[in-house]
Amino acid sequence: MFKLLSGIRVIDLTTVVLGPYATQIIADLGADVIKVEPPEGDVFRAARPGRLDDVGAGFQNSNRNKRSVVVDLKSNEGQEQLTELVRDADVVVHNMRLRSATNLGADYETLRTVNSQLIYCFSPGFGSTGPDADAPAYDDIIQARSGLADLNKDADGAPQFVRTIACDKVVGLHLAIAMLGGIAYRERHQTGVCIEAPMLESMTSFLMAEHLAGHSFTPPEGELGYDRLMTKHRKPHKTLDGYIAILPYSTRHWVRFFTACDNAPLAQDERVTNPILRSQHIDWLYQEISSLAATKSTAGWLQLLSQEDIPCAPINSLDDLFADEHLQAVNLFQKLNSDKLGSICQIRSPFVVDGETFDQPRANTVAPSLGEHTTELLSRQ
Protein backbone atom coordinates (compact mmCIF):
# COMPACT_ATOMS: atom_id res chain seq x y z
CA MET A 1 0.00 0.00 0.00
CA PHE A 2 1.29 3.43 -0.94
CA LYS A 3 0.67 6.71 0.92
CA LEU A 4 -0.49 8.94 -1.93
CA LEU A 5 -4.08 9.06 -0.64
CA SER A 6 -3.33 8.64 3.05
CA GLY A 7 -6.02 10.41 5.09
CA ILE A 8 -8.75 10.00 2.45
CA ARG A 9 -11.73 7.92 3.57
CA VAL A 10 -13.94 6.23 0.97
CA ILE A 11 -17.36 4.74 1.68
CA ASP A 12 -17.54 1.97 -0.90
CA LEU A 13 -21.06 0.81 -1.82
CA THR A 14 -19.88 -0.96 -4.98
CA THR A 15 -20.39 -4.58 -5.93
CA VAL A 16 -19.19 -7.33 -8.31
CA VAL A 17 -16.12 -6.14 -10.34
CA LEU A 18 -16.47 -2.64 -11.82
CA GLY A 19 -16.71 -0.72 -8.55
CA PRO A 20 -14.48 -2.96 -6.41
CA TYR A 21 -11.75 -2.86 -9.08
CA ALA A 22 -11.91 0.96 -8.98
CA THR A 23 -11.86 1.19 -5.20
CA GLN A 24 -9.03 -1.34 -4.90
CA ILE A 25 -6.88 1.02 -6.97
CA ILE A 26 -7.78 3.83 -4.58
CA ALA A 27 -7.07 1.57 -1.59
CA ASP A 28 -3.70 0.54 -3.07
CA LEU A 29 -2.85 4.24 -3.27
CA GLY A 30 -3.42 4.57 0.46
CA ALA A 31 -7.06 5.58 1.00
CA ASP A 32 -9.04 4.05 3.84
CA VAL A 33 -11.71 2.18 1.87
CA ILE A 34 -14.68 0.98 3.90
CA LYS A 35 -16.65 -1.60 1.94
CA VAL A 36 -20.31 -1.37 2.98
CA GLU A 37 -22.19 -4.61 2.27
CA PRO A 38 -25.71 -5.89 2.83
CA PRO A 39 -26.18 -8.79 5.28
CA GLU A 40 -25.88 -11.31 2.43
CA GLY A 41 -22.63 -9.68 1.24
CA ASP A 42 -21.35 -8.73 -2.19
CA VAL A 43 -22.66 -11.35 -4.62
CA PHE A 44 -19.16 -11.73 -6.10
CA ARG A 45 -17.89 -13.25 -2.86
CA ALA A 46 -19.46 -16.53 -4.00
CA ALA A 47 -17.66 -16.76 -7.36
CA ARG A 48 -15.42 -19.83 -7.27
CA PRO A 49 -12.73 -21.04 -6.83
CA GLY A 50 -12.22 -20.02 -3.22
CA ARG A 51 -10.99 -21.34 0.11
CA LEU A 52 -13.59 -19.53 2.19
CA ASP A 53 -17.31 -19.31 1.51
CA ASP A 54 -17.19 -15.52 1.64
CA VAL A 55 -13.86 -14.90 -0.14
CA GLY A 56 -13.60 -16.38 -3.62
CA ALA A 57 -10.61 -15.80 -5.89
CA GLY A 58 -12.30 -13.08 -7.96
CA PHE A 59 -13.38 -11.21 -4.84
CA GLN A 60 -9.93 -11.69 -3.34
CA ASN A 61 -8.28 -10.04 -6.35
CA SER A 62 -10.40 -6.88 -6.34
CA ASN A 63 -10.91 -6.12 -2.66
CA ARG A 64 -7.53 -6.07 -0.92
CA ASN A 65 -6.60 -3.23 1.44
CA LYS A 66 -10.25 -2.60 2.36
CA ARG A 67 -12.34 -2.94 5.50
CA SER A 68 -15.80 -4.53 5.42
CA VAL A 69 -18.87 -3.52 7.42
CA VAL A 70 -22.33 -5.00 7.15
CA VAL A 71 -25.10 -2.41 6.95
CA ASP A 72 -28.70 -3.17 6.04
CA LEU A 73 -29.62 -0.03 4.12
CA LYS A 74 -33.22 -1.22 3.93
CA SER A 75 -33.61 -0.74 7.70
CA ASN A 76 -33.85 2.42 9.79
CA GLU A 77 -30.77 1.37 11.75
CA GLY A 78 -28.86 0.90 8.53
CA GLN A 79 -29.80 4.38 7.33
CA GLU A 80 -28.53 5.84 10.59
CA GLN A 81 -25.28 3.89 10.26
CA LEU A 82 -24.78 5.09 6.68
CA THR A 83 -25.35 8.66 7.80
CA GLU A 84 -22.67 8.35 10.44
CA LEU A 85 -20.21 6.73 8.04
CA VAL A 86 -20.77 9.46 5.45
CA ARG A 87 -20.53 12.31 7.94
CA ASP A 88 -16.74 12.01 8.21
CA ALA A 89 -16.06 10.55 4.75
CA ASP A 90 -14.34 12.14 1.78
CA VAL A 91 -15.82 9.97 -0.99
CA VAL A 92 -18.94 7.88 -1.50
CA VAL A 93 -18.84 5.58 -4.52
CA HIS A 94 -21.27 3.05 -6.00
CA ASN A 95 -22.18 1.32 -9.26
CA MET A 96 -25.91 1.06 -8.74
CA ARG A 97 -28.65 2.42 -10.91
CA LEU A 98 -29.64 5.88 -9.67
CA ARG A 99 -33.13 4.57 -8.84
CA SER A 100 -31.65 1.88 -6.61
CA ALA A 101 -29.34 4.32 -4.86
CA THR A 102 -32.28 6.66 -4.19
CA ASN A 103 -34.40 3.81 -2.78
CA LEU A 104 -31.54 2.97 -0.39
CA GLY A 105 -31.03 6.55 0.75
CA ALA A 106 -27.63 6.62 -0.95
CA ASP A 107 -28.31 9.28 -3.60
CA TYR A 108 -26.27 12.48 -3.80
CA GLU A 109 -29.10 14.81 -2.85
CA THR A 110 -29.62 12.92 0.40
CA LEU A 111 -26.00 12.39 1.35
CA ARG A 112 -24.77 15.91 0.64
CA THR A 113 -27.15 17.19 3.32
CA VAL A 114 -25.08 15.06 5.70
CA ASN A 115 -21.70 16.15 4.32
CA SER A 116 -21.52 19.23 2.10
CA GLN A 117 -17.89 18.47 1.23
CA LEU A 118 -18.73 15.02 -0.07
CA ILE A 119 -17.21 13.71 -3.31
CA TYR A 120 -19.91 11.46 -4.79
CA CYS A 121 -18.98 9.20 -7.69
CA PHE A 122 -21.11 6.54 -9.35
CA SER A 123 -21.11 4.31 -12.38
CA PRO A 124 -24.53 3.11 -13.57
CA GLY A 125 -24.96 1.02 -16.71
CA PHE A 126 -26.43 3.91 -18.66
CA GLY A 127 -26.29 7.68 -18.18
CA SER A 128 -28.96 9.20 -15.97
CA THR A 129 -30.31 11.54 -18.69
CA GLY A 130 -31.02 8.80 -21.26
CA PRO A 131 -34.05 6.56 -21.81
CA ASP A 132 -32.18 3.49 -20.49
CA ALA A 133 -31.13 5.12 -17.23
CA ASP A 134 -32.91 2.49 -15.16
CA ALA A 135 -31.92 -0.53 -17.27
CA PRO A 136 -29.71 -3.21 -15.68
CA ALA A 137 -26.22 -3.75 -17.07
CA TYR A 138 -23.28 -6.06 -16.55
CA ASP A 139 -20.07 -6.55 -18.48
CA ASP A 140 -21.51 -8.79 -21.20
CA ILE A 141 -24.38 -6.38 -21.79
CA ILE A 142 -22.00 -3.47 -22.31
CA GLN A 143 -19.65 -5.56 -24.47
CA ALA A 144 -22.68 -6.17 -26.69
CA ARG A 145 -24.12 -2.65 -26.62
CA SER A 146 -20.86 -0.73 -27.01
CA GLY A 147 -19.72 -2.56 -30.17
CA LEU A 148 -16.91 -4.52 -28.51
CA ALA A 149 -18.44 -7.97 -29.17
CA ASP A 150 -18.92 -7.09 -32.84
CA LEU A 151 -15.35 -5.81 -33.16
CA ASN A 152 -14.23 -9.15 -31.76
CA LYS A 153 -16.27 -11.27 -34.19
CA ASP A 154 -14.84 -14.56 -35.43
CA ALA A 155 -13.87 -15.56 -38.96
CA ASP A 156 -17.50 -16.43 -39.73
CA GLY A 157 -18.71 -13.00 -38.65
CA ALA A 158 -20.29 -14.13 -35.36
CA PRO A 159 -19.82 -11.60 -32.53
CA GLN A 160 -17.71 -12.84 -29.61
CA PHE A 161 -17.31 -11.65 -26.05
CA VAL A 162 -13.72 -10.78 -25.09
CA ARG A 163 -12.42 -13.34 -22.59
CA THR A 164 -11.89 -10.83 -19.84
CA ILE A 165 -14.25 -8.59 -17.90
CA ALA A 166 -13.16 -5.78 -20.21
CA CYS A 167 -16.00 -3.30 -19.75
CA ASP A 168 -16.12 -3.60 -15.97
CA LYS A 169 -12.39 -2.97 -15.70
CA VAL A 170 -12.15 -0.21 -18.32
CA VAL A 171 -15.10 1.61 -16.75
CA GLY A 172 -13.61 0.84 -13.34
CA LEU A 173 -10.58 2.86 -14.40
CA HIS A 174 -12.93 5.70 -15.39
CA LEU A 175 -14.56 5.49 -11.96
CA ALA A 176 -11.17 5.59 -10.22
CA ILE A 177 -10.24 8.66 -12.29
CA ALA A 178 -13.56 10.25 -11.30
CA MET A 179 -12.72 9.78 -7.62
CA LEU A 180 -9.24 11.25 -8.08
CA GLY A 181 -10.68 14.17 -10.07
CA GLY A 182 -13.22 14.80 -7.32
CA ILE A 183 -10.51 14.79 -4.66
CA ALA A 184 -8.48 17.32 -6.65
CA TYR A 185 -11.58 19.48 -7.28
CA ARG A 186 -12.50 19.65 -3.61
CA GLU A 187 -8.90 20.46 -2.69
CA ARG A 188 -9.01 23.51 -4.95
CA HIS A 189 -12.59 24.67 -4.44
CA GLN A 190 -13.44 23.45 -0.92
CA THR A 191 -16.80 22.06 -2.01
CA GLY A 192 -18.29 18.70 -2.78
CA VAL A 193 -19.04 17.38 -6.25
CA CYS A 194 -21.07 14.65 -7.96
CA ILE A 195 -19.41 12.76 -10.84
CA GLU A 196 -21.15 10.17 -12.98
CA ALA A 197 -19.20 7.65 -15.10
CA PRO A 198 -21.81 5.52 -16.93
CA MET A 199 -20.73 2.20 -18.39
CA LEU A 200 -22.10 2.48 -21.93
CA GLU A 201 -20.91 6.04 -22.48
CA SER A 202 -17.47 5.36 -20.98
CA MET A 203 -16.91 2.19 -22.97
CA THR A 204 -18.22 3.66 -26.22
CA SER A 205 -15.93 6.68 -25.91
CA PHE A 206 -13.04 4.32 -25.14
CA LEU A 207 -13.64 2.27 -28.29
CA MET A 208 -14.53 5.13 -30.62
CA ALA A 209 -11.42 7.20 -29.86
CA GLU A 210 -9.79 5.45 -32.82
CA HIS A 211 -12.78 3.81 -34.51
CA LEU A 212 -14.67 7.06 -35.18
CA ALA A 213 -12.05 7.36 -37.93
CA GLY A 214 -13.51 8.89 -41.12
CA HIS A 215 -16.67 9.89 -39.28
CA SER A 216 -14.59 12.31 -37.22
CA PHE A 217 -15.36 14.76 -40.02
CA THR A 218 -18.59 16.24 -41.35
CA PRO A 219 -19.35 15.09 -43.94
CA PRO A 220 -17.48 11.81 -43.31
CA GLU A 221 -14.12 11.32 -45.01
CA GLY A 222 -14.09 7.54 -44.87
CA GLU A 223 -15.68 4.66 -42.98
CA LEU A 224 -15.94 3.89 -39.30
CA GLY A 225 -13.10 1.76 -37.97
CA TYR A 226 -9.37 2.38 -37.71
CA ASP A 227 -7.94 0.67 -40.80
CA ARG A 228 -4.82 -0.68 -39.11
CA LEU A 229 -6.92 -2.54 -36.57
CA MET A 230 -9.56 -3.75 -39.01
CA THR A 231 -7.29 -5.47 -41.53
CA LYS A 232 -7.53 -9.27 -41.57
CA HIS A 233 -3.73 -9.57 -41.62
CA ARG A 234 -3.31 -7.79 -38.28
CA LYS A 235 -2.78 -10.92 -36.24
CA PRO A 236 -0.12 -13.03 -34.55
CA HIS A 237 2.17 -14.23 -37.33
CA LYS A 238 2.99 -17.92 -37.73
CA THR A 239 6.69 -18.77 -37.48
CA LEU A 240 8.47 -22.06 -38.12
CA ASP A 241 7.60 -23.28 -34.63
CA GLY A 242 4.87 -21.06 -33.18
CA TYR A 243 3.52 -17.52 -33.33
CA ILE A 244 4.86 -14.03 -32.75
CA ALA A 245 3.69 -10.43 -32.66
CA ILE A 246 5.73 -8.19 -34.97
CA LEU A 247 4.83 -4.50 -35.10
CA PRO A 248 7.01 -2.13 -37.08
CA TYR A 249 5.29 1.20 -36.40
CA SER A 250 7.42 4.20 -37.30
CA THR A 251 9.15 4.71 -40.63
CA ARG A 252 12.43 3.80 -38.98
CA HIS A 253 10.93 0.51 -37.77
CA TRP A 254 9.65 -0.45 -41.21
CA VAL A 255 12.90 0.40 -42.98
CA ARG A 256 14.91 -1.52 -40.38
CA PHE A 257 12.55 -4.48 -40.60
CA PHE A 258 12.81 -4.96 -44.35
CA THR A 259 16.53 -4.20 -44.27
CA ALA A 260 17.03 -6.88 -41.60
CA CYS A 261 15.06 -9.23 -43.83
CA ASP A 262 17.48 -8.52 -46.70
CA ASN A 263 14.73 -6.90 -48.75
CA ALA A 264 16.26 -3.60 -49.82
CA PRO A 265 13.61 -2.86 -52.50
CA LEU A 266 10.81 -2.92 -49.93
CA ALA A 267 12.90 -0.95 -47.43
CA GLN A 268 13.10 1.83 -50.03
CA ASP A 269 9.53 1.49 -51.35
CA GLU A 270 7.51 4.70 -50.99
CA ARG A 271 4.65 2.68 -49.51
CA VAL A 272 7.03 1.95 -46.65
CA THR A 273 8.87 5.25 -46.29
CA ASN A 274 5.87 7.58 -46.72
CA PRO A 275 3.66 7.45 -43.57
CA ILE A 276 0.47 8.41 -45.42
CA LEU A 277 0.97 5.84 -48.17
CA ARG A 278 1.97 3.29 -45.54
CA SER A 279 -1.31 3.87 -43.71
CA GLN A 280 -3.20 3.32 -46.95
CA HIS A 281 -1.37 0.05 -47.68
CA ILE A 282 -1.17 -1.35 -44.17
CA ASP A 283 -2.99 -4.61 -44.99
CA TRP A 284 -0.50 -5.39 -47.75
CA LEU A 285 2.40 -4.65 -45.42
CA TYR A 286 1.05 -6.93 -42.71
CA GLN A 287 0.67 -9.63 -45.35
CA GLU A 288 4.35 -9.19 -46.20
CA ILE A 289 5.21 -9.67 -42.52
CA SER A 290 3.18 -12.89 -42.42
CA SER A 291 5.04 -14.25 -45.43
CA LEU A 292 8.41 -13.46 -43.92
CA ALA A 293 7.51 -14.68 -40.42
CA ALA A 294 7.17 -18.25 -41.67
CA THR A 295 10.88 -18.34 -42.58
CA LYS A 296 12.35 -18.26 -39.04
CA SER A 297 11.71 -19.68 -35.60
CA THR A 298 10.05 -17.55 -32.95
CA ALA A 299 13.32 -17.33 -30.99
CA GLY A 300 15.20 -16.37 -34.14
CA TRP A 301 12.77 -13.52 -34.84
CA LEU A 302 12.85 -12.28 -31.25
CA GLN A 303 16.64 -12.14 -31.30
CA LEU A 304 16.83 -10.39 -34.69
CA LEU A 305 14.06 -7.87 -34.05
CA SER A 306 15.26 -7.04 -30.56
CA GLN A 307 18.71 -6.26 -31.96
CA GLU A 308 17.06 -3.85 -34.42
CA ASP A 309 14.85 -2.30 -31.70
CA ILE A 310 11.70 -3.30 -33.59
CA PRO A 311 8.62 -3.95 -31.38
CA CYS A 312 7.98 -7.69 -31.06
CA ALA A 313 6.72 -10.19 -28.52
CA PRO A 314 6.09 -13.89 -28.04
CA ILE A 315 2.46 -14.98 -27.83
CA ASN A 316 2.13 -15.80 -24.14
CA SER A 317 -0.54 -18.07 -22.76
CA LEU A 318 -1.90 -17.35 -19.28
CA ASP A 319 0.48 -20.04 -17.99
CA ASP A 320 3.41 -18.38 -19.77
CA LEU A 321 2.90 -15.17 -17.82
CA PHE A 322 4.32 -16.77 -14.68
CA ALA A 323 7.56 -17.57 -16.53
CA ASP A 324 7.84 -14.23 -18.34
CA GLU A 325 11.31 -12.91 -17.58
CA HIS A 326 10.25 -9.30 -17.17
CA LEU A 327 7.22 -10.05 -14.99
CA GLN A 328 9.38 -12.26 -12.79
CA ALA A 329 12.01 -9.53 -12.45
CA VAL A 330 9.47 -6.92 -11.34
CA ASN A 331 7.76 -9.41 -8.98
CA LEU A 332 4.27 -8.83 -10.36
CA PHE A 333 3.01 -12.16 -9.01
CA GLN A 334 3.70 -12.38 -5.30
CA LYS A 335 3.48 -15.41 -3.04
CA LEU A 336 2.02 -14.45 0.31
CA ASN A 337 1.05 -16.27 3.49
CA SER A 338 -2.21 -15.16 5.04
CA ASP A 339 -3.56 -16.32 8.39
CA LYS A 340 -7.03 -16.25 6.86
CA LEU A 341 -6.47 -17.55 3.31
CA GLY A 342 -3.28 -19.57 3.65
CA SER A 343 -0.66 -19.41 0.90
CA ILE A 344 -1.90 -17.21 -1.94
CA CYS A 345 -0.69 -15.56 -5.13
CA GLN A 346 -1.28 -11.83 -5.33
CA ILE A 347 -0.98 -9.53 -8.34
CA ARG A 348 0.70 -6.43 -6.98
CA SER A 349 -0.28 -2.91 -7.97
CA PRO A 350 1.57 -2.02 -11.19
CA PHE A 351 2.45 1.47 -9.91
CA VAL A 352 5.93 2.51 -8.80
CA VAL A 353 6.08 5.53 -6.47
CA ASP A 354 9.42 7.23 -5.79
CA GLY A 355 11.12 4.07 -6.96
CA GLU A 356 9.16 1.93 -4.56
CA THR A 357 6.95 -0.94 -5.72
CA PHE A 358 3.97 -2.45 -4.00
CA ASP A 359 5.95 -5.30 -2.43
CA GLN A 360 8.35 -3.06 -0.55
CA PRO A 361 7.93 -1.88 3.00
CA ARG A 362 4.25 -1.06 3.42
CA ALA A 363 2.18 -4.15 4.14
CA ASN A 364 -1.07 -4.91 2.35
CA THR A 365 -4.13 -6.60 3.76
CA VAL A 366 -6.00 -9.40 2.01
CA ALA A 367 -9.66 -9.03 1.03
CA PRO A 368 -11.80 -8.77 4.17
CA SER A 369 -14.28 -11.37 5.34
CA LEU A 370 -17.90 -10.26 5.27
CA GLY A 371 -18.43 -7.76 8.09
CA GLU A 372 -14.92 -8.28 9.45
CA HIS A 373 -14.69 -4.67 10.64
CA THR A 374 -18.33 -3.97 11.51
CA THR A 375 -17.81 -3.85 15.26
CA GLU A 376 -14.58 -1.87 14.98
CA LEU A 377 -16.05 0.81 12.73
CA LEU A 378 -19.69 1.12 13.75
CA SER A 379 -19.03 1.04 17.48
CA ARG A 380 -17.09 4.28 17.02
CA GLN A 381 -20.05 6.08 15.50
Query: What's the pLDDT score for residue 246?
Result: 98
The verdict on 288 and 200 lying in the same domain is: no
Model pLDDT for residues 69-91, shown as the tens digit of each residue: 999 999 999 999 999 999 999 99
The verdict on 339 and 309 lying in the same domain is: no
The verdict on 340 and 310 lying in the same domain is: no
Is pLDDT of 159 > 80? yes
Q: Can you give the CATH number for the domain in which 243 is found?
A: 3.30.1540.10
The answer to the question of residue 213 being in a domain is no
Is pLDDT of 134 > 70? yes
The verdict on 300 and 179 lying in the same domain is: no
Query: What's the pLDDT score for residue 363?
Result: 75
Work out the pLDDT band at 198, boundaries 50, 70, 90.
very high
The answer to the question of residue 227 being in a domain is no
The verdict on 43 and 141 lying in the same domain is: yes
The verdict on 339 and 310 lying in the same domain is: no
The verdict on 139 and 277 lying in the same domain is: no
CB atoms within 10 A of CB 89: 23
The answer to the question of residue 187 being in a domain is yes
Query: What's the pLDDT score for residue 357?
Result: 81
The answer to the question of residue 214 being in a domain is no
Pure H helices in the chain = 18-28, 57-60, 76-87, 98-103, 108-111, 139-146, 148-151, 166-189, 199-211, 227-230, 251-260, 264-268, 270-273, 275-280, 282-293, 298-307, 325-329, 374-378
The verdict on 303 and 186 lying in the same domain is: no
Is pLDDT of 316 > 70? yes
Model pLDDT for residues 200-232, shown as the tens digit of each residue: 999 999 999 999 999 999 999 999 999 999 999
Work out the pLDDT band at 359, boundaries 50, 70, 90.
low
**Domain stops at, among 270, 285, 314:** 314
Q: How far apart are CA 22 and CA 178, in angstroms?
A: 10
Work out the pLDDT band at 356, boundaries 50, 70, 90.
confident
The verdict on 243 and 362 lying in the same domain is: no
pTM: 0.95
Query: What's the pLDDT score for residue 224?
Result: 97
Amino acid present at 148? L
Q: What is the share, in percent, of the chain residues with pLDDT greater than 90?
A: 95
Q: How far apart are CA 110 and CA 179, in angstroms?
A: 19
Query: What's the pLDDT score for residue 109?
Result: 97
The answer to the question of residue 330 being in a domain is no
Is pLDDT of 361 > 50? no
The answer to the question of residue 217 being in a domain is no
Q: Please count the structural domains in the chain.
A: 2
The verdict on 296 and 343 lying in the same domain is: no
Q: How far apart are CA 172 and CA 122, in angstroms?
A: 10
The answer to the question of residue 295 being in a domain is yes
- In terms of residue numbers, what domain contains 31? 9-206+335-378
Query: What's the pLDDT score for residue 364?
Result: 86
The verdict on 308 and 339 lying in the same domain is: no
Q: Can you give the CATH number for the domain in which 163 is found?
A: 3.40.50.10540
- Mean per-residue pLDDT, 18-31: 98
- Mean per-residue pLDDT, 315-336: 96
The answer to the question of residue 302 being in a domain is yes
Is pLDDT of 381 > 60? no
The verdict on 134 and 263 lying in the same domain is: no
